Chains A and B, each alone.
Chain A
Amino acid sequence: MNKRILSTACFGMLAACLTQAAIAKDLTVISFGGASQEAQAKAYYEPFTKATGINIIPVAYNGEMAKIKAMVEAGKPTWDVVEVESPELLRGCEEGLFEKLDYGKIGDKKDFIPGSVSDCGIGIFVWSVVLAYNADLVKGTPASWADFWDVKKYPGKRGLRKGAKYTLEIALLADGVPPAEIYKVLATKAGVERAFKKLDQIKPNIQWWEAGAQPPQLLASGDLVMSSAYNGRIDAAQKEGKNLKIVWNGSIYDVDSWAIPKGDPKSAEAYQYIAFASKPENQKVFSGFIAYGPTNTKAVSLIDPKRADVLPTAPANLKGAFAIDIPFWVDRGEELEQRFNTWAAAN
């Protein structure tokens, strides 16, 4: 009897040790899902596991900071590396949701493009919000957001992201505000009015999307003829043979970054992963799978020039494009999102 108890206990302990070991070798990496995460799996997750033996558990989210906040407040985050957009990164850094990064463990700051290196995050890739359209359904070639508003010339439903961010900028662009002055105009009360007034014009024609994977689906299915979309998602759909086209004029670009939730017990492995994913040769592979620009300047020269042409970082694509104003959205985001909700909910 005693022997059996002993052996059970031993076995139990062994099992416990084994699961402990298994947990130690897992790293939970959070991204925005869809084609972007698939590309990350091929360019980062799989090679990283092969190189280090650390298994990656991929999780998708839509950028909500609530879970991270709850985890950090509870003291033991189970998310180890998180892909975040710039405004969330800045806010989360100030509010102590993310670790201050030790660049000694990642790489030389000088190797990265300006704007992709900050206290709590290091850039993964440059992405753009572009005008995309289904070339089978649209007759002619729309060239700007003003054409997006022209429902007579290009009839059909349009897609925009459900939220104030990007939407207000796009409305002002369509109303003829030059890219360089967008945030100057949007900072004034009259500018906000102007943006909403412009949106009123096509409100009945808009179908709102929330996840980045939606626009290419809705465009391909014919539910939408035009939509704002993340350029990489459209590129991925083009590769699948969908006849979708991108208008680079008036695109808005930003950097997504890796961040480590504060108090992460596996921060050593998290650093290992971030360093791996920041290497030029790995970023080059990523840009091959999805059309997002690398943040490591050394990766740029590695990329095939033909491929480089479809990235947001290509000089031709940057014409008429502008960077999202992060401090603006950190400051005004809450008020404008509330205003947007009020506007969108009204008939």
Chain B
Amino acid sequence: MTLIQAINDALKVAMRRDPNVLILGEDVGVNGGVFRATDGIYKEFGPERAIDTPLAESGFVGAAAGMAVYGLRPVVEIQFDGFLAPAHEHVVNHIARIRHRSRGRFSCPMVIRIPSWGGIKALEHHSESIEAWYANNPGLKMVAPSNPYDAKGLLLAAIEDPDPVLYFEPKRLYRAFRADVPEEHYTVPIGQAAIARDGRDLTILAYGVHVRTALEAAEEAAQERGWEAEVVDLRTLNPLDLDTIIGSVKKTGRVVVVTEAPRTGGFHSELIALINDHALEYLEAPVARVTGFDVPMPYLLNEDLFLPDAGRVMEAIESVRTY
């Protein structure tokens, strides 16, 4: 199935297994979501578990926090990354802190699904990289699948997790390719990275949409230069799988980090800092980062100039290999 079908399937599996799981957001019910991620859920589970809310992100994210405290397992859909901003207050000031502030009495086990990043040539605020807003905010787990199998397994794990989870979806890959996904329930554990491609000559760290870009560049590096790149798909951004990341870095000694966020203060910066903390003496070259630029995400005609592509990753590979 496609990645969007895997998300849809995970929601249905979770809702069949646990009557406390429900979805809410704008147009998620009758319409099945603007990307059709919740297609058929209203029909199967009815209006009390597939809830079309008024148009107010702050309202439905905040209300979902209350539902979660009371024992439900809400999964909210933010239509596009940029529209999490109105609910930012609830995410950072409440959802992330309810367990801590109540000294463990209350918790907020909910999932916020965030169609993320660019590449679909949409209007402004529909193609943002917002993971760094939340990486600097304790109390939130963050996952970012790159393929249909992980999309289903990570979403089920997120719904079952005792803590709030931000689930970043690569909207550009929703229908980009198909992969085998088991029909039944399974989880991909939160906190485990995956080696998407084995290699000995350098490490590429990526997540979500840019695992594909990294794999493309890795193929190019192998064919053109004979360099075998190891691609680490982080899958979870918080808590990070340091063992896998640092293990790969120690093995290859050369690292390229790929994200789509603006260059200053992005999640890539944290990855580089961790490599500095844990594997500095293994490095054969400074870590290279391939990122967006410090400008608002361009409108569609210039979008391709902003987005990292295999060519820019290949340049970074050259830089760490020829240092």
Q: Real complex partners, A and B?
A: no
Q: Which residues of B contact A (CB under 8 A)?
A: none
